[in-house]
Chains A and B, each alone.
Chain A
Amino acid sequence: MTDFDLTPLQAVLGGYAPQGRTALLPALHAAQEIYGYLPEPVAAEIARGLNVPLAEVFGVIDFYSLFYREPVGKTVIHVCTDPACAMAGSEPMLKRLTQHVESLNGKNHTEESATIERAPCLGLCEHAPAMLVNGQPIGQANTRTWEEMVESDPRPPDTKVDGSIRLLTANCGLGYTLSLEQYVARGGYTAYRKALAGAPEEVVDAVKISGLVGRGGAAFPTGVKWEGTAKAPGTQKYVVCNADEAEPGTFKDRVLMEDDPHSILEGLMIAAYAVGASKGYIYIRGEYLRPYQMMKIAVQEAREARLLGENIFGSDFNFDIEIRRGAGAYICGEETALFESIEGKRGFPRVKPPYPTTHGLFGQPTSINNVETLANVPLILRMGVDEYRKIGTEKSPGPKLFCLSGDVERPGLYEVPFGTTFRELLFDLAGGVRSGHHFQSALFGGAAGAFALDSHLDVHLSFEDLRAAGLPLGSGVITVFDETRDMRDICLRLAHFFADESCGKCYPCQLGTQRQVEIIQRIMDGQVLPGDWERLHDIGWTMTDASLCGLGQTAASAVMSAMKHWPHLFKSPEALAQ
């Protein structure tokens, strides 16, 4: 075995050691930064430094797809092959790049110059086909040369933001990241100051009356969550911002983090005050290196301006924020798996109850909210609850961000009041289906969602109307498919996504996501077997009914919705004849 110089690692580990196991992911990221990958001696040194059993360090490394056990090339490329990017041509692009990399590696015998990997949705759907080169985003990658992407330092794609209202996105799409100074000049942090001038209960009440519900997909009332955390017994409480945005088709949180990071920080600070937390975490998915960099700068600015720290605004409120990076695991968007990840473990979801409000991060009362949810909070306090409730519908108040991608004329992030129709969003704002084609279907809610048909075009985008139409709002993803798309291919990609991202803890999902992808592959290949229709249903219902967490419970959602809409695509000729 090669001898590794462990001195640079030991220098870094010294800083992490006092934190112990919770610093495992940060330490692994730092080590990989130094050595390019995580060989055995490096992992052993980290285990010693943080006092974590060897086998458990290995278990963590091998769980997360962005940690490498084996050496990788100097350039690491992640190509997204999920629906939006696949429709924009990522498969032929991947093939071309792979050939290019093979020829490069063939010339260079000493070390691999580049490693290329198929990646789950990278949250760059409005720039499809997209990829990451050493973590940096490349949009419309099929139009770029190798030199442009790898050898120069390409400018990251500008965010594409529009909408019929611009409240959450007022500071987005300007072509730059808003600094603290610019944010304050636009009225930023006045809500924080206002909140701290009153009692925490007043903030909880305002958020409760505002009708704000979680924007990450579960739509749980934010104020109720905060109240539960505030009232839970315990002196150490936490707030967590869930920025593990990884639902295929979703990129709203990325845009908010890249363009207006302080609005999220302000929301988290107010949440902390409301629930009585002195420490907050922002957990950002590993693939979002650029948003991580933006958020890190913002936290530093806030700290220097004493918006974080002790006795904030002269009050007795103390609060600080730590940013954590994930390492390639969709499951860590599930709140309890996210806690496990911050604690330095494999991202296995926990059994609920108990719920995070009483037993969350490190077993303490925790309020965990999505990025967009938190961005609503300063808005509510600034506008006042009454004004805020005038936006949207009675049952779904407020603004909502929708991520439009796929066969759309102008893909991007759109802000509209709840209650806007799908037709208005797609045709009036986003320019309709790509030119020369017409609407076949749209996937609402991402991989965990369901397909809409043209009969749904006039549905109002609100929780109540979508529920009545049998469509999920989810995190606000709408991926559009025109008449040329083979929906079996879309289902196959979603099935692969779940099989790759299942953590493997509970049997229905561990086994069901694998069996599901095998059957859909068979259907795609024209090799459908008698009984496959029933098999898919049994797998689907078993995952939905019996899985431990939300991932497994929704892993068959899109497939079963497609089977309902287009049975002929999934049935064997014999079954169709019946």
Chain B
Amino acid sequence: MSDTINLIIDGKQISVPPGTTILAAAREAGIEIPTICFHEATTSNALCRICVVEVEGSRVLVPSCVAHVSEGMKVQTQSERVTRSRRTILEMLESTVDLSDAPEIQTMIVAYKADADRFPQAKSRASAPIDDNPMYLRDYAKCILCWRCVQVCAEDAQYTYAINFSSRGYDTQISTFYEVPMPESTCVFCGQCVAVCPTGALKPKRQWLLELGRTPDEIMDLTRSERRNRRRRVDVPSNDQV
């Protein structure tokens, strides 16, 4: 196999090593392709489809985050088909979830001239925030199902497997085993899921309380009993007892 692959992206001649994704090749050439579910630290599943591009000879659009470059490939990252798909996906997303804490997606909505009210009378995935542990809050009305939290909880990082999915299709939601409260799950409160969440669906409890207008002192008061309960429950011998 040759050391470099030559391809054309948006009319620009590009040479990259074999095995490079179209997304990486484009970024190297200074061509920006938007992404939502893609994250450097997680396995790409090509599910948001925002990064799709038009590849000459392909019947359907191609997800650039996982598709590898090939010799002589001709790629368009802003064709009419591409922008229609991106715009419509953003419009459907906006009618489904609360994107108020997702600044990156908000920027895309503006860039693709997506109409936030395109789908009137649409059923949204509204649900009450789940406040079941002292560390973080789960507000699935903001969840875009990018899978990052499930992945870092599993093989992509932590091997904890506290969360997976309930239901399927439009009604899919991130869930613990039989929807048990997080402290009863296998969660170790490592915080990795919170770190990779792009939409504020997972949020540190303290941040959430601060956003609600609570002062740091009030937060200490509010969480004191929670912390005390926690100490009492965890019946582990301390170091000097061992």
Contacts and interface: CB of A to CB of B under 8 A. Distances in A.
A43 B52 contact: no
B119 A515 contact: yes
Contact of B49 (A53, A69, A535, A546): A546
B189 interface: no
Contacts of B170: 499, 502, 504, 510-511, 513-514
Given A53-B161, A58-B178, A518-B123, A541 B85 contact: yes
* Residue among A53, A57, A507 facing the most chain B CB atoms (10 A cut-off): A507
B113 interface: no
Contacts of A542: 84-85, 88-89, 92
A62 B168 contact: yes
A505 B47 contact: yes
A329 B169 CA distance: 11
A166 interface: no
Contacts of B185: 54-55
B33 to A, nearest CB: 14
**B47, B85, B154, B168: which has the most chain A beta carbons within 10 Å?**
B168
B145 interface: yes
Nearest to A498: B169
Nearest to B119: A515
A538 B114 CA distance: 12
Contacts of A539: 88, 92
Nearest to B120: A529
A56 B169 CA distance: 17
A352 to B, nearest CB: 10
Q: Is the interface of B mostly helix, strand, loop or mixed?
A: loop
A55 B95 CA distance: 29
Contacts of A522: 121
B161 A351 contact: no
Nearest to A540: B88
Contacts of B89: 507-508, 511, 542, 546
Contacts of B154: 53
A518 B121 contact: yes
A500 B167 CA distance: 10
Given A53-B186, A518-B121, A529-B120, A507 B177 contact: no
For this complex, into which size category does the number of interface residues on chain B fall? 35 or more
B192 interface: no
Given A351-B45, A535-B119, A548-B47, A508 B164 contact: no
Interface string A524-540: 00000100000100110
A55 B162 contact: yes
Given A59-B166, A63-B165, A514-B123, A507 B47 contact: yes
B159 to A, nearest CB: 9
Contact of A500 (B145, B166, B169): B169
Contacts of A501: 169
Contact of A59 (B52, B165, B169, B171): B165
Contacts, number: 152
Nearest to A511: B92
A136 B84 CA distance: 46
Interface in A100-119: none
B63 interface: yes
A539 B92 CA distance: 9
A545 interface: yes
Interface string B139-182: 00000010000000010000001111111111110011110000
B85 A545 contact: yes
Given A55-B185, A546-B52, A511 B165 contact: no
Contacts of B164: 53, 55-56, 58-59
Nearest to B171: A504
A351 B121 contact: no
A261 interface: no
B115 to A, nearest CB: 10
Interface string A256-285: 000000000000000000000000000000
A331 to B, nearest CB: 8
Contacts of B87: 538
A63 B122 CA distance: 24
Contacts of B177: 40, 43-44, 54-55, 57-58
A544 interface: yes
A553 interface: yes
A546 B67 CA distance: 13
A346 interface: yes
B234 to A, nearest CB: 21
A547 interface: yes
Interface string B39-52: 00000011111101
Given A58-B166, A515-B92, A548 B172 contact: no
A506 interface: yes
B227 interface: no
A96 B122 CA distance: 31
B178 A351 contact: no
Interface string A326-341: 0001000000000000
A411 interface: no
Nearest to B164: A59
A382 B52 CA distance: 47
A57 B177 CA distance: 8
Contacts of B92: 507, 511-512, 515, 539, 542
Nearest to B96: A511
B224 interface: no
16 contacts: A40-B177, A44-B177, A58-B175, A58-B176, A351-B45, A351-B66, A499-B170, A502-B169, A503-B168, A506-B48, A512-B92, A518-B119, A542-B92, A545-B60, A546-B85, A548-B46
Given A511-B89, A542-B88, 15 more contacts: A43-B177, A54-B161, A55-B177, A59-B166, A59-B175, A62-B166, A346-B165, A351-B46, A501-B169, A504-B172, A511-B96, A513-B169, A539-B92, A541-B84, A548-B63
